[in-house]
Amino acid sequence: MDEAASDHTVGGSTAVNVKLDALGAAAPAGDGAEGSAEPIVEFRDVHFYYGSFRAVKDINIVVEPRKITALIGPSGCGKSTLLRTINRMNDLIPGTRVEGEIRYHQANLYEKSVDPVEVRRRIGMVFQKPNPFPKSIYDNVAFGPRVTGFKGNLDELVEGSLKRAALWNDVKDKLKQSGLALSGGQQQRLCIARAIATEPDVILMDEPCSALDPRSTLQIEDLMAELKQNFTIIIVTHNMQQAARASDRTVFMNMDDDRAGYVVEQSDTMEIFTNPKNQLTEDYVSGRFG
Amino acid sequence: MAVGSPAASQVLVRRTLSRGGFDWRSAAFSAFLLFCLVFALAVIAVLIAQVTIRGMPVLTDRGADFLTSNLSTRAGTAGVGQGIFGSLFIALFVIILAIPIGVMTAIYLEEYAPDNRLTRFIAINIRNLAGVPSVVYGLLGLAVFVPVTRVIESVIFPDLDGTGRSIVAASITLSALVLPIVIITASESIRAVPGTIREAGYGAGASRWQVTRSLVLPSAIPGILTGTILSVSRALGETAPLIIIGVSYNFFSTGNRGTLEGLFGPYTALPAIVYGWASNPELDFRELTAAAIVVLLAVTLFANAVAILLRNRYEIKW
pLDDT digits (tens, 9 = 90+) for A147-190: 988 999 999 999 999 999 989 999 999 999 999 999 999 999 99
More confident residue, A242 or A13: A242
Q: What is the separation of C-alpha A46 from the centre of its chain, rounded to a whole number of angstroms?
A: 18
pTM of the model: 0.80
Cβ <8 Å between A131 and B199: yes
**Whether A105 contacts A141, CB under 8 Å:** no
Look at residue B305 in the predicted model and tell me its pLDDT: 86
The whole-number pLDDT of residue A255 equals 93
Q: Which residues of chain A have a Cβ shorter than 8 Å from any chain B Cβ?
A: 2-8, 87, 89, 92, 94, 117-118, 120-121, 124-125, 127, 129, 131-134, 143-144, 147-148, 180, 191, 194-195, 197-198
Which tops the pLDDT comparison, B307 or B239?
A: B239
Are A87 and B203 within 8 A, CB to CB?
A: yes
* Number of cross-chain residue pairs from A and B with Cβ atoms under 8 Å apart: 77
User: What pLDDT, on a 0 to 100 scale, did the predictor assign at position A105?
Assistant: 92
Structure confidence at residue B94 as a pLDDT band (50, 70, 90): very high
- pLDDT bin (cut points 50, 70, 90) of residue A8 is very low
**B76 Cβ contact partners less than 8 Å away, ≥ 6 residues apart:** B284
A134, A178 Cβ separation under 8 angstroms: yes
Q: What is the DSSP string of B241-283?
A: HHHHH----S----TT--HHHHTTS----HHHHHHHHHT--ST
Q: Kindly list the residues from chain A whose CB atom is less than 8 angstroms away from the CB atom of residue B210.
A: 147
Judged by average pLDDT, the poorest of A225-239, B65-79, B172-186 is: B65-79
| A99 band by pLDDT with thresholds 50, 70 and 90 | very high
Nearest residue of B to residue A144, measured between CA atoms: B204
pLDDT beyond 80 at B2: no
Interface pTM, i.e. ipTM? 0.85
Task: Give the rounded percent of residues in chain A with a pLDDT score beyond 70.
Answer: 87
* pLDDT of the residue at A288: 82
Nearest to B202 among A120, A180, A191 (CB): A120
Indicate whether A15 pLDDT > 70: no
Q: Which pLDDT score is estimated for A143?
A: 95
Q: Do A4 and B202 touch (CB under 8 A)?
A: yes
What values do phi and psi take at A266, rounded to 5?
Answer: -140, 135
Q: Is the pLDDT of residue A57 over 90?
A: yes
Q: Can you list the domains of chain A with their CATH numbers? A: 15-285 (3.40.50.300)
A148 contacts B202? CB cut-off 8 A: no
Mutate to test the interface with A, among B112, B115, B208 (most CBs of A within 10 A): B208
Answer whether residue B179 shows pLDDT above 70. Answer: yes
**Higher per-residue confidence, B257 vs B100:** B100
In the predicted model, is pLDDT for residue B189 greater than 80?
yes
Of the partner residues A6, A117, A127, the one whose CB lies closest to the CB of residue B205: A117
**Tens-place pLDDT, residues B190-213:** 999 999 999 999 999 999 999 999
Summarize pLDDT for A77-88 with one digit per residue, the tens. 999 999 999 999
The one-letter amino acid at A1:
M
pLDDT at B248 over 90: no
**Least Cα separation, residue A248 to chain B (angstroms):** 25
Give the nearest partner residue to A147 out of B114, B194, B210, using CB atoms: B210
**Three-class SS string for chain A?**
CCCCCCCCCCCCCCHHHHHHHHHHHHCCCCCCCCCCCCCCEEEEEEEEEECCEEEEEEEEEEECCCCEEEEECCCCCCHHHHHHHHCCHHHHCCCEEEEEEEEECCEECCCCCCCHHHHHHHEEEECCCCCCCCCEHHHHHHHHHHHCCCCCCHHHHHHHHHHHCCCHHHHCCCCCCEHHHCCHHHHHHHHHHHHHCCCCCEEEEECCCCCCCHHHHHHHHHHHHHHCCCCEEEEECCCHHHHHHHCCEEEEEEECCCCCEEEEEEEEHHHHHHCCCCHHHHHHHCCCCC
Residue A108 burial by Cβ neighbours in a 10 Å radius (0-12, 13-18, 19+) = middle
Distance between CA atoms of residues A48 and A85, nearest Å: 9
Alpha-carbon gap: A172 to the closest alpha carbon of chain B (Å): 22
Distances from the Cα of A235 to the Cα of A83, A201, B302, angstroms = 8, 14, 55
Other CB atoms within 10 Å distance of the CB of residue B121: 10
The whole-chain average pLDDT of chain B stands at 89
Rounded average pLDDT over B160-171: 88
Question: Does the pLDDT value for residue B31 go beyond 90?
Answer: yes
Q: Is the CATH number of domain B53-314 3.90.1570.10?
A: no
Q: For chain B, what is the largest distance between any 2 Cα atoms, rounded to a whole number of angstroms?
A: 109
Least confident of B157-161, B197-201, B272-276, B289-293: B157-161
- Of all residues in chain B, the percent with pLDDT exceeding 90 is 53
Rounded to 5 degrees, what angle do the CA atoms A54, A55, A61 make? 110
